[in-house]
Amino acid sequence: MVARITAESPRHAAVRDQARSIVSEADRLRSRFEAARPLDEQAYGRVVEASALPKSSDEEKHARTAALQAALIGAAEAPLVAAGLAVEGLALARRAQALGNEHLVSDVECAQHFFRAARAAGAANVRINHRFIKDAEVVRAQGDRLAAILHAE
Give the domain ranges of the chain: 2-151
pTM of the entire predicted model: 0.93
- The correct CATH number of 2-151 out of 3.30.1330.10, 1.10.10.10, 1.20.1600.10, 1.20.120.680 is 1.20.120.680
Q: What is the pLDDT of residues 87-134, one digit of tens each?
A: 999 999 999 999 999 999 999 999 999 999 999 999 999 999 999 999
Residue 66 has pLDDT above 90, yes or no: yes
Q: What is the pLDDT of residues 134-144, one digit of tens each?
A: 999 999 999 99
**Structure letter (DSSP) for residue 100:** -
